[in-house]
Amino acid sequence: MNFKSEVMSLVSGDVPYLKYNRLSEIDFITHAFSTRLGGVSSGEFTSMNLSFGRGDSDENVRENYRRIADAIGVTFDSLTASAQVHESIVRRVTKEDLGVGIYRPKDMPSVDALITNEKGVTLVTYYADCTPVFFVDTAKKALGLAHAGWRGTVLDIAGEVIRSMQREFSTNPEDVVCAIGPVIGKCCYEVDSDCAENFKRLFDSDSGVYQEGDREGKYMIDLALSNKLLLMKAGVREENIVISDLCTKCNSDLLWSHRATGGKRGTMSAFLALK
């Protein structure tokens, strides 16, 4: 494994994980993005799989959550997960929701983003090529995490999180620092013309979001840039948005990638909490 990144750091140890250099400068949060390393799962899930319902045992997945929670400095009991179906539902999480999706059953059929302003709550969303988006309101000390696949992206889930934080916490978008990725890059994310049409309706041809691929009828899509532009449209300052330089497919020795594995894979998670 040859890790190279100018915007993220790999924290080594028994349970390796990634951190954003920019978010690490914010002293009142804990954040992390898991890798595929350091867990107890085996077979196609080797070894840090954080997804229930893919064929791995629930015992393994919970043990993996315990291990990475301990590594990043949050408690297992504080974890609260989303219920992702590639839509744009945003849920405000409180201490009453602790454990949902981890050691308590999911109680909503669709949640692709979580927000909170409570300490003792660790937001959890999960990925294997789709786009994680971290939100930190540096003034009101409120947080958000969003899962943005291509459907969530074109439904503007990034903007929905900003608007939800404005309603719930009186957030000023100019105070929000956002981090995007790791995600499958434009170098590897090939889609058909039907999918590409959704991006063409949202973004100008000179935006850099899409371009024709090498194969007829195929397009290359930049999910990270798409979400950056939507965040800026929602009022986030460009200088407050940082994008990971790690493509999940190009770095599939470190990160889970649905496309690189043909769907035979585990899942990574993003974590965000107030200290």
Q: Residue 84: its pLDDT value, please? A: 87
pLDDT (tens digit per residue) in 71-111: 999 999 999 999 988 889 999 999 999 999 999 999 988 89
Residue 203 forms part of a structural domain: no
Residue 115 forms part of a structural domain: yes
pLDDT (tens digit per residue) in 237-268: 999 999 999 999 999 999 999 999 999 999 99
Residue 40 forms part of a structural domain: yes
Residue 71 forms part of a structural domain: yes
**Residue 243, class by beta-carbon neighbours within 10 Å (0-12 exposed, 13-18 middle, 19+ buried)?**
buried
Q: Residue 85: its pLDDT value, please? A: 86
Structure tokens at 3: 């890790």
CA distance 157 to 78: 24
Q: Residue 204: its pLDDT value, please? A: 96
Residue 132 forms part of a structural domain: yes
Instruction: Note whether 69 and 58 are within 8 A (CB).
Output: no
**The dihedral formed by the CA atoms of 163, 137, 50 and 180, expressed in degrees to the nearest 10:** 80
Residues spanned by the domain of 245: 8-184+241-274
Residue 225 forms part of a structural domain: no
- Which residues of the chain fall short of a pLDDT of 50? none
- The CATH number covering residue 53 comes to 3.60.140.10
Residue 67 forms part of a structural domain: yes
Q: Residue 86: its pLDDT value, please? A: 82
Instruction: Note whether 7 and 33 are within 8 A (CB).
Output: no
Number of folded domains that form the chain: 1
Q: Residue 67: its pLDDT value, please? A: 98
pTM: 0.98
Instruction: Note whether 146 and 83 are within 8 A (CB).
Output: no
Residue 211 forms part of a structural domain: no
